Chains A and B, each alone.
Chain A
Amino acid sequence: MATIAQEKPWLSVERKADVTCIKAGGPWHVMSLHWAYEEVEKAGSPNTGSVELDLQAVDKMDTAGALLFFDMISMCDRSGVNVSFSGISDEQRLLLKQVEENYEPCAIEPPRKNSLIKQVEEIGVATVTIVEGFGALLTFLGLVLMRLLRTIMQPRRLRLTALVFQMEHVGLKAIPIVGLISFLIGAVIVNQGAIQLQKFGADVYVIDMLAFSQLRELGILLTAIIVAGRSGSAFTAQIGSMKLREEVDAMEVIGLDPVETLVLPRLIALILILPILTFYADLMGLLGGGLMAWGTLDISPGTFLARLREAADFSTFAVGMIKAPFFAIVIAITGCFEGLNVSGSAESVGLHTTNSVVHSIFLVIVLNAFFAIFFTTVGL
């Protein structure tokens, strides 16, 4: 098999007065096409007289080889040179005929735009997409809240099984990762904070720092980010693949409201679960910090607790907790919204899942900044 590939196609050109005799031989197929192409380039094409093309010695020809011959012939035709064949088999004639019938050039890529225009256009499109996307998200939020209201008025509409299932997946299964991350972050804050505060001889204030950052900001923020990455993305992928398989359309036709069946259980589950996870994250963060303080700074658990009670009061804890349901809404709405926007191909699921995570983390952080300003203004 390998030997066939090494045999080369060839052309020999012989000029007799007016007639140019071109003999071709060897394999003229796709495997040896680049050699054949070189031969054709080398031979050139006469622009006067006539050409006699002898294909006797061609031992294998496929459509690619026929295409190359046809190129030669049409080049001759264009310069008014008449081509006649000799030694051509029926099979070769059939191939050439087929090529002739289908010799219709086509573009390979869509036309490219001028790069400056293209860039300006891209910026414009991106801007419009963002604005429209945000508008659509707000509309969706409104729709979902209305459905939520209806469900609260008529609690029997609530899909309890779906809700419990989602709570398990969003909450229970997130316990290990949320706990571990909060524990480690708490420990690191104490460890790093102590190094800085020691310079002022104020080690013990590391507990104030831990309490403030963990309870007000980090506990809820980290939990929200983990949940956005774990569950927001899952919401998008689940709903997105249902969308692809036309399950969502089927629901609508049957008379099931997709918002009520798909979105509300996820939204309510997250609103209920995120505060609980945050509370748990706060505890684990304080535990990590407390153990680190005990181990490296010799602050005993008793001292730690006493200092903690002085440093933070209920409002510190409440500031963090109050944010939880809002972040839950942001994550659930973004995740479900992206899922319902999936269309076309599996690629779209991937794209929207990425969007879902990026957008919900972004929105959570922005919202958190607004909360910080708000709480400072009202003096909490």
Chain B
Amino acid sequence: MIKEETGVLSQDDIPAIRIRGLRTQFGLNVIHKDLDLDVRQGEIIGVVGGSGTGKSVLLRTIIGLIKPVEGHIEILGIDRSRLTGEDEETLQQKLGVLFQDGALFGSLTVAQNIQVPLKEHFRIPQKLLDEIAAFKISLVGLPADAGPKYPSELSGGMRKRAGLARALALDPALLFLDEPTAGLDPVGAASFDRVIVELKKAMKLTVFLVTHDLDTLSTVCDRIAVLANKQVIAVGTMDDMLKINHPWVKEYFHGPRSRAAGISAA
């Protein structure tokens, strides 16, 4: 990491996300303090941590829904706080977000949901809009007959896929997922994991993935970041995690569930 900072940076060396000295708080309740994190381009980073440690808040801070109290966040080398108006909008178009339950607009069909960001930002002929929607629906593994359905007519797993399709509408460079496999059955979760890996390969996505799912962590993520004590206390591969001597990390990666997922030996 230090090498990257001192060496001459080529386009690909710029971290996708670079967080330095981040502090977020609600009233007097400090959520993050002096938090640093780098996410490399083209990687899938999994963020883990106990409930209430501020994973969702971190995600929402990076995508700009929550303003940090201190510190700065660079996305693709651009400091968001220095941007204004149109440039901020352009940056925002590079981010795709899947919220916990899909957050689809209930009054629109799945296909129309996917078209919302496209229609909002660009003048695209209707025929192409329809083609793009159909393509994204197939891309996330939804059947074609899901297109004209309303979100309330879909199962939880399908709603997540539809939310993913909408997040991918503008071909974002960065994809943010908040517990995408929570509430899915293991088969559905595994196939969702596969979709994410395939998309990452095909679209050169960088993925910021908040998850509790040990299977997802071990099969999908290139690196894992652990959030505890208001900071990122460790970043590394699954093998690195297994060597870390922190009580929570140990409990998490060496516990019975981890053994069931085939991560650590009994």
Interface of A with B (CB < 8 Å)?
1-2, 5, 29-31, 33-34, 37, 62-64, 67-68, 71, 91, 94-95, 98-99, 101-111, 344-345, 347
Contacts and interface: CB of A to CB of B under 8 A. Distances in A.
A30 B122 contact: yes
Interface residue tally of chain B, by bracket? 35 or more
B147 interface: yes
Contacts of B125: 34, 37
A103 B204 CA distance: 20
A149 B132 CA distance: 62
B144 A71 contact: no
A62 B171 contact: yes
Contacts of B144: 104-107
Given A1-B90, A104-B134, A105-B134, A344 B152 contact: yes
Given A34-B122, A37-B124, A107-B148, 6 more contacts: A29-B171, A30-B124, A37-B125, A67-B135, A104-B144, A108-B147
Interface in B144-203: 144-149, 152, 170-171, 202-203
A109 B133 CA distance: 12
Contacts of A91: 204
B134 A106 contact: yes
29 contacts: A1-B87, A1-B90, A2-B87, A30-B118, A30-B171, A33-B128, A34-B124, A34-B125, A37-B124, A37-B128, A63-B135, A63-B136, A64-B128, A64-B132, A94-B202, A95-B202, A98-B139, A101-B138, A103-B134, A104-B134, A106-B137, A106-B138, A106-B144, A106-B146, A107-B148, A108-B111, A108-B115, A108-B133, A347-B106
B128 A68 contact: yes
B106 A345 contact: yes
Given A68-B128, A108-B147, A110-B149, A33 B109 contact: no
A63 B106 contact: no
B87 A102 contact: no
Contact of B147 (A67, A107, A347): A107
B12 interface: no
Contacts of B128: 33, 37, 64, 67-68
- The interface residues of chain B, by DSSP majority, are classed as helix
Q: Give the most central of A30, A31, A37, A67: most B CB within 10 Å.
A: A30
Interface of B: 86-87, 90-91, 93, 106, 109, 111-112, 115, 118, 121-125, 128, 130-139, 144-149, 152, 170-171, 202-204
Q: Give the most central of B87, B93, B125, B131: most A CB within 10 Å.
A: B131
A104 B133 CA distance: 10
B134 A98 contact: no
A91 B202 CA distance: 8
A211 B213 CA distance: 72
Nearest to B142: A106
Given A29-B171, A67-B128, A104 B138 contact: yes
A106 B171 contact: no
Contacts of A94: 202
Contacts of A104: 134, 137-138, 144
A106 B165 CA distance: 14
Nearest to A1: B90
Contacts of A108: 109, 111-112, 115, 130, 133, 147-148
B134 A63 contact: no
Contact of B148 (A1, A63, A109): A109
Q: Give the most central of B91, B135, B139: most A CB within 10 Å.
A: B135
A103 B144 CA distance: 10
Contact of B124 (A33, A71, A111, A345): A33
B135 A99 contact: yes
Contacts of A105: 130-131, 134, 144
A98 B124 contact: no
A311 B160 CA distance: 70
B152 to A, nearest CB: 6
A102 B135 contact: yes
A94 B203 CA distance: 9
